[in-house]
Amino acid sequence: MADNDQQRDTKTADNSSGSPGLLDRFFEITSRGSSIRQEIRGGIVAFVAMAYIVVLNPLILGGSQDVAGNSLDFAQLTAVTGLVAGVITILFGVVAKLPFALAAGLGMNSFLAVSVVQEVTWVEAMGLVVINGVIIVVLGATGIRTAIFNAVPHALKVAITVGIGLFIAFIGFVNSGFVTRTPAGPPVQLGQDGSIASLPTLVFVVALILIGILVARNVPGGILIGIIVATILAMIIQAFAKLGTVGDPVSPDPKGWNLAAPEIPAQVVALPDFSLVGAFDLFGAFERIGVLAATMLVFTLVFTNFFDAMGTMTGLARSAGLQTKDGMFPRIRGAFIVEGIGAVAGGGASASSNTVFVDAAAGIAEGARTGLAACITGVLFLVSMFFAPLIGVIPMEAGAAALVVVGAMMVTQIREIDMSDFRTSLPVFLTMVTMPLTYSIANGIGVGFISWALIHAMSKRGRDVHWLLWVVSAGFVLYFVRGPISAILGG
C-alpha cells in the first residue's frame, strides 16, 4: 500500500506543473524513495510524538525561580516554545533537507532550571544559552564539528544509534509509568510495587501492542493511528475515572496521568504572547558570578548541546537510511549550523536551546526521508501556539508507546557492529548502556570516546585513534569532573 501511495504521489509530482513538482525536485523526494504523502504523514507523526514539549518545556522552565526570585510565565513560555521550534524546524528542513525536527532540549532546559538559575537570573541564563549557540554555529561553519564527526570510528557511530534507541525506549517506559523509581532497593521497578496498577500505564500497554501490530503488518500511518486510538481510549477512561496527574502540586495522584489528563479543554484556541522574545542578557552572568564560573557554565552547555545533537543526528540519519558508508549524511555542515542557530534562537526567546529531537525518529519510522517532513512538523509547531490547550489532550502515555517501538527499530542496527574484538565491544557496550542509565546522550558518547581511546592505546593500537578523538576525550574528562572544578573555582 505504501508503494502505491508513493507511485501515485510521484506521478502527481511529475505530471503537474505546479508546486508538487517543485517540492519533489527541491527536497529530492523521489530520489530518496519517498512520496509527498509519505513526507506529510511522517511530519505529522513526528509532531504528534513531540507535541508534549509545548506543555512540558513551560512546566520545567516555569517551575523554577532564579537567584533573584523571578520566574517565567507559563503562557509566554508556551508561545515561544512553539514559535522557536516551528521556525527552526522549517529552516532546518529547507537548508539541511533532512527529516529531523528541533525543539527545546530536555537536558538543557532541566540543567537551566535546576542548576544555572540557582546562580544567575533567567535573563542572564538565556544569555549564556545564546553564547553557547554562537559557539556551536562557529564550530559548524568552520568545519570543526564535521571533522570531529569524521574522527569517530564507525562502530561507535553505530553504537550511538543503538544507545539512542535504548534511551528513547527507556524514556517511553518511564513517561508511561511502566518503569518507576523505588523508594528503596533497586533504582527502578515495574509499574508500582512491581505490577501494572494504573489505568494510564494500561493505555500505554494497549498503545504499544497496537502500534507494534500495525508496524509489523506494514500498515501506512501505523504509529499515528496507534497514538490517535490511544488518545481516544485515554479520553474515555478519563471521562469515567476522573484521574488526576502524578505531578499535581496540590494533590498528586500516584495512579494518575504523567503530564496532563486527556480531557477536552474548556478553551481550544488561545492567542500567543511573545513578551519573552529578546529577554536575555548576554554578559550579565559574567558580571554576577565571575568570568571563570560563567565560562564553566558555557562549557557545560556547549558540550551537552554539541554531542547530544551530533549523536541524535547520527542515529536519525541511520534510521532514515541516509548515512553513507563513511558515516556521513547529506548537507551535514548546514545541519550543524542550523542546529546551532536553534540554540541562539532558543536563548534569545527564553525557550531554552533548541536542538534535534530524538522523538523525530517516529516520523522517520513512518516513512519521512526529506526536509519536507521537517517543514510539516515546523508548521504544526507554529499552529500549536494557537492550539496549546488542545495539544495538551494527547496523553504522554500514548506518545511513550511510539517511542518504545521506534527504539526497538533503532536497536536493530547493532547487527552492523563486529563484537568479536573486545577493544571494540567494550566501548560500544559502554556507549549503549550509559545513555539510558544516565539519561544523557552526551554522557554515553563521552564514555564511549574515552574508553575507546584508552583501551586502544593501552593495547598497542593507539595509532588507530584519530588525534581529534583524543582532544574530544580530554574535553569529556573535564566535562565529567566539572562539578568539582566549579566548586574549586567557586571556593
Q: Which residues contact 314 (CB under 8 A, 6 or more apart)?
A: 149, 157, 160, 161, 323, 327
129 pLDDT exceeds 80?
Answer: yes
Q: For the chain, what percent of residues have pLDDT higher than 70?
A: 92
483 pLDDT exceeds 80?
Answer: no
So what's the pLDDT on residue 404?
86
Q: Are 448 and 434 in contact (CB under 8 A)?
A: yes
Backbone angles phi, psi at 179, to 5 degrees: -125, 130
Q: Are 338 and 87 in contact (CB under 8 A)?
A: no
8 pLDDT exceeds 50?
Answer: no
So what's the pLDDT on residue 326?
63
For residue 342, the one-letter residue type is: G
Q: At what angle do helices 36-50 and 371-384 cross, to 10 degrees?
A: 40
Read off the pLDDT of residues 169-226 as tens digits, 9 standing for 90 and up. 888 898 888 988 888 778 888 878 788 888 999 999 999 999 899 888 877 667 778 8
6 pLDDT exceeds 50?
Answer: no
Q: Which residues contact 389 (CB under 8 A, 6 or more apart)?
A: 265, 266, 267, 268, 269, 270
So what's the pLDDT on residue 39?
94
CA distance 151 to 141: 17
Read off the pLDDT of residues 437-475 as tens digits, 9 standing for 90 and up. 988 777 888 899 999 999 999 988 878 888 888 988 888
The per-residue pLDDT of the chain, averaged, comes to 84
pTM: 0.71
Q: Establish how many alpha carbons lie within 13 A of residue 440's alpha carbon, considering only the half-sphere containing its beta carbon.
A: 20
Confidence label for 20 from pLDDT (cuts 50, 70 and 90): low
Assign residue 177 a region (left: φ > 0; alpha: ψ between -120 and 50; beta: otherwise).
Answer: left
* Grid coordinates belonging to 170: 527507556
